[in-house]
Amino acid sequence: MKKTLLVGRHGVGKTTLKQALRGEEIRYVKTQYMLYEDWLIDSPGEYAEVHGLNAAIAIYSYESDVVALLIAANDDYSLFPPNCTQMINRDVIGIVTKIDKAPPERAESWLRLSGCKRVFFVDSHTGKGVDELRSYLRKR
């Protein structure tokens, strides 16, 4: 599997997606620090939200093969500025989570505006889209 860094604001579903991708039981866990387990790196939402902490994301992006930017379908805004992926010398994908909560088109457009060429749509609780994402992350 490609080492993947999950980045997004708090509550977007990074840890839940991590659990779904690993086939674990879905349960609420608040990520308090950068959690590096086998091929997934789970970042706390605060690291993306607070300017002083986002340097950690930059450092961990060098440890990864893929950087995944997450936005929930029902989010009111995007943390990611236009073309921000140009600064990352890794594959960058977009993931729209919580697709059962709202139409995903707005979140997808924000991810594409940020520079994500590939966008996945997932519902971690039902598993919809998780297998497609897992297959992509298996490719070498």
Range of the domain at 31: 4-138
Q: Which domain CATH number covers 56?
A: 3.40.50.300
Report the C-alpha gap between 60 and 16 in whole angstroms.
20
Tens of pLDDT along 78-112? 999 899 888 888 999 999 999 999 999 999 999 99
Tens of pLDDT along 13-34? 999 999 999 999 988 878 777 7
Tens of pLDDT along 53-75? 667 778 888 889 999 999 999 99
Count of domains in the chain? 1
Q: Are strands 4-7 and 118-121 parallel, antiparallel or unpaired?
A: unpaired
Report the C-alpha gap between 105 and 90 in whole angstroms.
25
Tracing tokens 């297959």 back to the chain, one arrives at 135
Instruction: Give Cβ neighbours of residue 52 (< 8 Å, ≥ 6 apart).
Output: none
Report the C-alpha gap between 140 and 126 in whole angstroms.
27
**Residue 10 near residue 44, CB atoms below 8 Å:** yes
